[in-house]
Amino acid sequence: MSEQNFETLMQTAYLQTFPTQLDLITEGDPADFLYVVIEGCVELYARSNSREATMGMVQPVGTFILAAVLKDAVYLMSARTCQKSKILLIPSDNVREAFQADASFTRAIVQELASCYRGVVKEHKNLKLRTAVERLANRLLRYHRDQGANGSLDLPYDKRTLASLLGMTPENLSRAFNTLKPYGVDVDGSFVRLNDTKALETLAKPNPLIDGRDQ
């Protein structure tokens, strides 16, 4: 977008640092701000009945709640920090203003929104087409790839969060790790060693249309 429009937009924004485990937004509330994660990590989650599920994790530099802002609607998800995090808050009105005023900004927003959309579609496919063990196996392979594919990886979140993200209970995540032991998966806290990626891939059957970074 134009330097000038960017400046205008940024002058309306707040850059704030939040402690860990702080609730930023609650589903059902009107979308007052667009959020951009600058540092740290944010968990998107949802509740219904009395169940709770992690919907996604946002890391720098990522936005969340973009669709609600653009539609001037209520949030569909809640969000909380899962580390001390630096976050940019841009008032919704100003986002929509810039969106009307600056065509380049509009196009950038659309690319971001389209990426978010495809992210959720992939997550949905993941959940509908795979068992819990397969989801874990593929997630490990993804982290392994993203962290340099050097035979080991670090789980980026605690296991409880990872379990919910993968659509299972913490107990089941533990058991899923045990199921993967014969496939060369050794776990020590948040450190995971993959001793036989070939075997793991045979089990996981990774699919670029679910696990791919781009696309």
Q: From the list its own copies, DNA, none, pick the one residue 172 interacts with, judged by a Cβ distance below 5 to 8 Å according to partner type.
A: DNA
Q: From the list DNA, its own copies, none, pick the one residue 127 interacts with, judged by a Cβ distance below 5 to 8 Å according to partner type.
A: its own copies
Name which of residues 115 to 174 contact its own copies (CB under 8 A): 115-118, 120-125, 127-130, 134, 167
Rule CB under 8 A: is residue 207 a binding residue for its own copies? yes
Give the number of residues in contact with its own copies, rule: CB under 8 A.
51
From the CB of 77, what's the least distance to its own copies, in Å? 7
Q: Please report, to the nearest 10 degrees, the dihedral formed by the alpha carbons of residues 109, 19, 52, 56 taken in order.
A: 30
From the CB of 189, what's the least distance to its own copies, in Å? 27
Cβ distance to its own copies smaller for residue 67 or 89? 67
Rule CB under 8 A: is residue 215 a binding residue for its own copies? yes
Contact indicator for 58, 42 with CB cutoff of 8 Å:
yes
Applying CB under 7 A, the residues found at the interface with DNA are 131-133, 158-160, 167-175, 177-178, 187
Q: Six-digit token pair at 115?
A: 């990426």
Q: From the list DNA, its own copies, none, pick the one residue 184 interacts with, judged by a Cβ distance below 5 to 8 Å according to partner type.
A: none
Name which of residues 8 to 47 contact its own copies (CB under 8 A): 27-28, 46-47
